[in-house]
Amino acid sequence: MLTIYHNPRCSKSRQTLDIIKEAGAEVEIVEYLKEVPTAEELKALLNKLNLEAKDILRKGEPVFKEQFKGKELSEDEWIAAMVAYPKLIERPIVVKGNKAVLGRPPENVKTLF
């Protein structure tokens, strides 16, 4: 079973979901802008991705440019920012067990099959 942290308005997220469905894999879809991950859930995702919070920030988002550009925040502060502003979370993130990948490019998801 795969879990995708998905934004249906994002083309990369839709493409990644299409690859999963074409492979016939079971998938749970989490629309993370509606079901915002907790700080603990984000820490677990980052652990599975083997990345730091700053590595999955969407730096092109207006909220990043307006409130966070040029700031040096701790890991916990970046995570808190992503919980407060989930649009900052890079998408999609696909999880299978203890592994996760960013669907950028969407083909990255194939490593989980």
Residues taking part in catalysis? 10
Pairing assessment for the beta strands 99-102 and 27-31 based on DSSP bridges: unpaired
Q: Specify whether the CB–CB gap between 109 and 19 falls below 8 A.
A: yes
The angle at the Cα of 82, spanning 80 to 88, to the nearest 5 degrees, equals 155
Q: At what angle do helices 39-49 and 75-84 cross, to 10 degrees?
A: 120
